[in-house]
Structure 1
Amino acid sequence: MHMAAQHPTAAVLLCEVVMEILSWIPAKPVTRLKLVCKSWNSIISHPHFVKLHLHRSPKNAIVLSTLTPPFPNKEEKQSLVLSSVESFIQNPSSTVDAQENRHSLHLQDWVLDSCNGLVCVARLLFHPNNDITDICFRLLNPLTGFISENSPCLRVNVNNVFGFGYDESSDSYKVVTFIRDSSGTVTAQVYSFRGSSWKTINSFPAFPYCVEANGQFIGGSLNWLGVRNPHGDDYHWAAVTLDMLMIVSFDLKSDTHKQILLPKGINEIPRQEPTLGVWGNRLYLLYDYKNTHFIAWQMKEFGDENSWTQLLKISFHHLGVETLFPEFIFENGNIFMLRGRHCFEEVFYDRRDNSVKRTNILANNCYFIAFDYVESLVQPC
C-alpha cells in the first residue's frame, strides 16, 4: 500500500510551524540545526527567517570587546572577544583573557561598531604624512564566519569621525564619515555595502565633531556631538560654550541631517567632552560635573528634545575615583562602565542598588573597548 502524497497546503503549514519554532532558538544552536536536513537548511538560510530570528533574538545580551596590544609588533594581533553581559560584569578581566569566542584581526584593523550581529572593521593604510590615511571597510559576522568584500578606499584625515548603521528602507548597512575640504566646506561621504562606490552628500554644517567616539546608531540615524562656530577644523575645549554644543543626527534613509539640542537642565559646560551612548533604543549623554560628579541624561523618546531626563548624578567620592571617563552602558541603562585614572581600572556603577565595583582589567596588558553586540544569522547581499 502506497502512502498518500502530502497535500501542498499541509506541507506549507508544516514549514511555517518549523520556522516558527526555530525562530525562537538562539543563533548559535540554530546554525548547527542547518545540518539536520535540506528543508531545515533552506528554512534557516531564507532571508525572511533571518530577519524574523533577529527580531526575536535577545537584545543586548552580548558584549563585543576589542583587544589591542599596547606596543604592536609582528607577533601580536588584535582580537575580537564575545562574552555574555553577566560574565563580563562579574569578571571582566578573565572574560577578555579567555581564548574561547576569540577572533583574530590584523594589527591595521580597527573595529568601528556592531549592528544586527555584523561587525564593521576598518583597514587603515597610513601615508608618510601621518595626518592622512586611506581607509576601507568590510563587514564580518563572528558567528557564521561571513566576511564581505572591502569597500573602495577613501582618503581621510586621521581626525575624521565615522559611523556604522542599518538603513531598513533599503535593507542596507552603511558607513558614514564627514570630510572638510581646503575651503572649509563639509560633505558627508556615505558607503552602502549594497553599492560599489562612496556617495557624496553636500550641505552639511561646517563644524568639527568630537572625535573620541563613533557615531551612535539609533532610530535609523547616526549621531555625533558637534561644536558650532569654531575657527578651522580644530577647537579648544576650554573655549567651548554650552550654546556651541549640539547633537548632529544623520538619517540613513534620506541622507539628511538635523540638530538635536542638549538637555535644558545642563547649566554649565562639562570639564571634559561629553560622551554619547546608546542602550536599549535610548540615547544617553554622559559627562563629569566640576570633576566631582558623574551625570547621565537619557532621551526617553529619540528625537524628542523634551524627553531628556537626568538619570543619575553620583559623586566621584562614592565611586572611589578622582577622575573618570564614561565608556559603556549595560542592563537597560542601569549599569555604567567608567574608566578610572589608570587605563586598566574599570568602575561599574549599578544605579538600582547604588553599588560600585572597581576592577583592574589587565587582559595580557592589552587595551580593550566594549561594544553592544547580538548574535545573528545576518549575511547581507
Structure 2
Amino acid sequence: MQDCSFTAEYQEHSFSFWNPATRTKSEALLSFRNYAKEKNNCKFAFGYDNSTDTYKMVLLCLKRDGELIATTVKVFTLGDNVWRDIDCFPVELVYHRSLMFARDKVYLNNSINWVVRHRYYCHLKNLTVEKFVIISLDMRTETYTQLLLPRCCDEELTGAATLSVLMDCLCLSYDFNKTHFVIWQMKEFGVEESWTQLIKISFPILLKDFKSQEFNNDSLFLCPRLMPLCFSKDGDTLIFAINLLDQAILYNLKNNRATRIKSTNKIWWSAAKGYVESLVSTS
C-alpha cells in the first residue's frame, strides 16, 4: 500500500506491506523522497524473493535528458528497512510516452520484468516490436537479463508494447496498425524461442460498444488502451481492462464476441494485479 505527500521541495512516498491472506499490515516503515530539482519520474515495483522468503520493493528513477532516459535503481528488502543502490538498467532507454506513464512491469518467476524501448533503435522513426526489449530483474541475485520480443514480423505499433501475466506465462500485447490487438505468450519463461502468438482480435469486435468521444477526457491516452487481465478457468473468456473508470471488456474466444461491463465501485480495472496467497509475514 502506497501513500504520497507533497511539499514545494519534494514528494515523499511511504509504504506498508499488507497480506490479505493473514489480514496483517506492517507499519509505514519505508519512505523515499523525490526532490523536485532532480526532475525524476519514480516508478515502484513489488516482488518476492523465494530464496529467502522475503518481500522486496524496487524503485526505478527515470530522468529524461533529451530523447534519452537515465535510470537509477534502488531495492528495499523487508527486514533490512533501507534503500540500497543496485546496478542501473543494462541498456540506455529512449523516451516514449508509455515508459513514463503506463503500467509496463510485471512480477513472474521470482523476477520483475519491464518492457522498454532501447537506444539502439532510437534513430528509426516507425515504432515496431523489434525496437523494444524486456529487462528482467532477478529478485534473488538482483541482476538483469535481457529478453528479446518476438522477431517474426515487422508490424508497426500504434502505441507501446505492454506486459502481462496470463495462465502463469509472460505475455506481450500491443495495438497493431490501429486494426487489431495482438497478444504473444512466452510459453517457457526466459526462452525467446518459445514466443507464440496467442490471440489477434480486431478492434471493431473488441470496441463495438464504445464510442471514440468517450476517451477524449483521458489526459494520458486519447484513444482506447487495452490491458489483458486474466483468463477464465476454462480458458474461454479473457478480461480486458480499458482506460475508462469502472469499465472492462469480456471477450469470448469461442464465439469471438466482446461484451462491455460496468461497475459502480469506482475502481480502475487497469490497476488490478494478480494475487497469490502467501503466509509469509509482513512484519
Is the pair's TM-score, using the shorter chain for normalization, greater than 0.5?
yes
Decide which structure has greater strand share. 2
> What one-letter code is carried by the residue in structure 1 that aligns with 2:33?
R
**2:130·2:151 contact (CA, 8 Å) conserved in 1?**
no
Match of residue 16 from structure 2? 138
For residues 359 and 331 of structure 1, the distance between their equivalents in structure 2, rounded to whole angstroms, comes to: 15
For residues 222 and 185 of structure 1, the distance between their equivalents in structure 2, rounded to whole angstroms, comes to: 19
Shift of 1:337: 2.3
> What one-letter code is carried by the residue in structure 2 that aligns with 1:170?
T
Match of residue 176 from structure 1? 58
Match of residue 43 from structure 2? 161
Match of residue 257 from structure 1? 144
Aligned residues: percent identity?
30
SS at match of 1:255: coil
**Contiguous gaps of at least 5 residues in structure 1:** 1-120
Q: Determine if the alignment matches structure 1 residue 218 to structure 2 residue 96.
A: no
SS at match of 1:169: coil
Match of residue 262 from structure 2? 360
Match of residue 80 from structure 2? 195
Relative to structure 1, the CA distance from residue 149 to residue 239 in structure 2 (aligned partners, 3 Å threshold; closer, same or farther) is farther
Relative to structure 1, the CA distance from residue 279 to residue 255 in structure 2 (aligned partners, 3 Å threshold; closer, same or farther) is same
> What one-letter code is carried by the residue in structure 2 that aligns with 1:253?
R
CA-to-partner distance for each residue in 1:264-322, whole Å, 9 max, x for gaps?
13422310122110133200111121111111110000100110000011111222256
CA-to-partner distance for each residue in 1:5-27, whole Å, 9 max, x for gaps?
xxxxxxxxxxxxxxxxxxxxxxx
Where in structure 2 are the equivalents of 1:205-354 lying within 5 Å?
Answer: 205-207=91-93, 209=99, 211-213=101-103, 215-229=105-119, 240-319=127-206, 320=208, 321=210, 323-331=224-232, 334-339=236-241, 342-354=244-256
Match of residue 122 from structure 1? 2
For residues 175 and 195 of structure 1, the distance between their equivalents in structure 2, rounded to whole angstroms, comes to: 12
Shift of 1:339: 4.1
Match of 1:186 among 43, 53, 71: 71
For residues 248 and 106 of structure 2, the distance between their equivalents in structure 1, rounded to whole angstroms, comes to: 22
Match of residue 83 from structure 1? none
Farther off after superposition, 291-300 or 241-250: 241-250
For residues 112 and 50 of structure 2, the distance between their equivalents in structure 1, rounded to whole angstroms, comes to: 13
Shift of 1:353: 4.3
Relative to structure 1, the CA distance from residue 212 to residue 341 in structure 2 (aligned partners, 3 Å threshold; closer, same or farther) is closer
For residues 274 and 316 of structure 1, the distance between their equivalents in structure 2, rounded to whole angstroms, comes to: 16
**1:159·1:211 contact (CA, 8 Å) conserved in 2?**
no
Q: With structure 1 as the length reference, what TM-score do the two structures score?
A: 0.59
Shift of 1:224: 0.6
Query: Relative contact order: is structure 1 or structure 2 higher (C-alpha 8 Å, sep ≥ 6)?
Result: 1
For residues 221 and 302 of structure 1, the distance between their equivalents in structure 2, rounded to whole angstroms, comes to: 10
**Cα root mean square deviation, aligned:** 3.0
**Contiguous gaps of at least 5 residues in structure 2:** 213-223
Decide which structure has greater helix share. 1
For residues 366 and 325 of structure 1, the distance between their equivalents in structure 2, rounded to whole angstroms, comes to: 16
Shift of 1:154: 1.4
Match of residue 373 from structure 1? 275
SS at match of 1:371: coil
Q: With structure 2 as the length reference, what TM-score do the two structures score?
A: 0.77
Relative to structure 1, the CA distance from residue 158 to residue 335 in structure 2 (aligned partners, 3 Å threshold; closer, same or farther) is farther
CA-to-partner distance for each residue in 1:108-136, whole Å, 9 max, x for gaps?
xxxxxxxxxxxxx112122336xx52212
Relative to structure 1, the CA distance from residue 310 to residue 170 in structure 2 (aligned partners, 3 Å threshold; closer, same or farther) is same
* Structure number with larger C-alpha Rg: 1
**2:129·2:161 contact (CA, 8 Å) conserved in 1?**
no
